[in-house]
Structure 1
Amino acid sequence: MFQDGSRSSGSGRGLSTTAVSNGGWRTRGFLRGWQIQNTLFNNIKFMILCCFVTILILLGTIRVGNLGSSNADSVNQSFIKETIPILAEIPSDSHSTDLAEPPKADVSPNATQRKVWLNQNPEFPNIVNGKARILLLTGSSPGPCDKPIGNYYLLKAVKNKIDYCRLHGIEIVYNMANLDEELSGYWTKLPMIRTLMLSHPEVEWIWWMDSDALFTDILFEIPLPRYENHNLVIHGYPDLLFNQKSWVALNTGIFLLRNCQWSLDLLDAWAPMGPKGKIRDETGKILTAYLKGRPAFEADDQSALIYLLLSQKEKWIEKVYVENQYYLHGFWEGLVDRYEEMIEKYHPGLGDERWPFVTHFVGCKPCGSYADYAVDRCFKSMERAFNFADNQVLKLYGFSHRGLLSPKIKRIRNETVSPLESVDKFDIRRMHMETKP
């Protein structure tokens, strides 16, 4: 009995002990399960957050990747507006040097400083003989052309510009230095223009002209009074610019920029789109998306200016004169074969399609190893344009080329007996024909 009691008692103590032990295990198991569940829940929340961030990044990447598509203009325009303000913050992928760094000097009071300088230096007036002082800037790369014949035609183009400037009292600067390593190629002109503006306060207008452009109306003069209230004069077509947003609406191969604070501000807004490398590549994508007909390539100065004038119209366009009443830029292909007709029907001094002021050989690239047109055709056309213009200069001296393709000249007047009779009649410096629209 005792044993039974002992068993019973033992059994009861054992049962009681087992019950407590199982209850404690269940409690500890419940707590551990809750901790595992809580940790798992937190991990799931973290994974969901990571997935959400990843999706956002992918969407942004897809959005950028689709930027070049011309079929998504509405999306592109929105993205462009968001992107362009921070474009200047993108670091260049090449190392800059001290030479390449933009000027740090504060030029905001330039107008006041320039006025003071002009008053203190009356021997350098900005108005000469009633006309604003102009400095024509042109240039080419520091090295020689890829082909010797390219150097030959660059020389002819320089001679042509010197003739025009000499006859019209215009100063000329031929630049072969790259003032900013980052702004190469099309962009080289911008730092040079800025430097000349600050270095020559006596100059009222800086006139940029590409090396492959020739004056073909030696008598014609820029109608500066027309631009009294404007600071940038550039050849173009308002419809292509404002309605079609075409990338060829303007031509930055030839333009005039007034020496003033507005122009310095424009250059400061224009140049940040040009540094070579990542900035130029990314800007090119934006320009291609924004401008009609623009191929996909790195940013060029012409597209960048058009974009700037359209996207910030309120800031710039009021001071821009889009000129098309005469050929400040005349595309060569439709002009060079008509020179004989022009000589027969018209006369110099018109500047328009009847006698083009400038013939610009866009796409010929005489100094490069490749061109958009046949090399022989380009050089033959440049020869015709040069001789067409040179005849207008030689006329004063009684000579003319034997033909528009001939470098040889012939005498057209005999002035041995009375050499001064023809001076007043043929001297371009005395002929001031007003340009008519």
Structure 2
Amino acid sequence: MFAFDLPFLLLCMSSGLISIFLVILILNLLTFSRLRPIHMKKEEQQSAPFFSILVPARNEEKNIAACVRSLVAQRYERLEVLVLDDNSDDATAEIVVHIIEALPPDQKGRLRLFRGAELPAGWAGKNFACHQLSQVAQGDFLFFTDADTIHDPDTIASVLACMKQHTVQMLTAQPEYILSSFGERLIMPSLNFLNLSSLPIALLNRSKEPILATGNGQLLCFERSAYEAIGGHTAVKGTLLEDVELAREARAAGYRLLFVDAFLLVRCRMYRSLAEVWRGYSRNYFAFYCHSLMFALFGLLLNLLLYVLPPAFLLYSLFVPQSLSLIVLAALSSALPVMMRIMLSLRFEHRARGMMLLLCLLHPISILFDCLILVNSIRWYYRRKGVEWKGRQYKEQK
């Protein structure tokens, strides 16, 4: 009987699980709160809290000017923008200095540049840079962001309004990702696909379990009292996934967190080529699995089963005749993820949308690349010299 045939069982399992993930994705698209632009009037800002915008920067000469200018241009008046040059060997610091010099006299105090100290043992570079910035920040709120982000002028006002509305002490967000090269467009949306189709965002926001908390360093805003209570970046000084770990520390301490869609307000150009995507995600992809080899291998096999096996079987059936039931199951299991990817593109991709929709047809190849990146991330973690990032070597404790 075909019901006991291994390919049939695997394809049944694949289509069943994909159907569950489709439901999760639809719920996420319906419940993923969007951070919407809020323009705060000047008279409202007189009693508003003071914000410190903190930007760690190491070798960011391609990105830093656009980022800093967007932050200085915030329509929220009560803020300071603090940039720390983390021992860059490019023109990062010089670019910030030129921006400061070009500011009108009444705006020069709005932006300050600091030179980072030498990296102490046991610290990851970005974490120590953020720690140094937090020590000189004056704000009631600490707004951490990466140097490769560009912010709408109403970002700070919108973040404050959202945090007050939901009564949370930490807010993090997913920005719009600027994708230009073929490699970026092929791989990066599939990582978003895996995240939004596997965990309900409503659960991430409402659960009290630290393991379900998430954070994104491209926009990570704390009430200062909450940040200091959990120990700040000192509590996560050695990890390469510090944003997620900070969120878990905050939740473990009883603080309320919110993860929102900042597509309308924040843009980010993380990588500029397939090679950069490969290196960047290899740095911390394994950390998403809490450095559990068993957990990572399970995720690897699950992704291959769900998203690579069905189209591979369809291809195989072109050369070796198969029963109609198997072909129908394989076609269904192949079509559903493509449909899910199209749904995500329609929600999150507004640039070159036609090309992005076409690339949805290559979803199995995207997932295969993701699996290879995970394998490489595991390899980097276990090799003797550890992970290399921006000219530094990190060897996290196993």
What is the TM-score with the length of structure 2 in the denominator?
Answer: 0.37
More helix by share: 2
Higher relative CO (CA 8 A, sep ≥ 6), structure 1 or 2?
A: 2
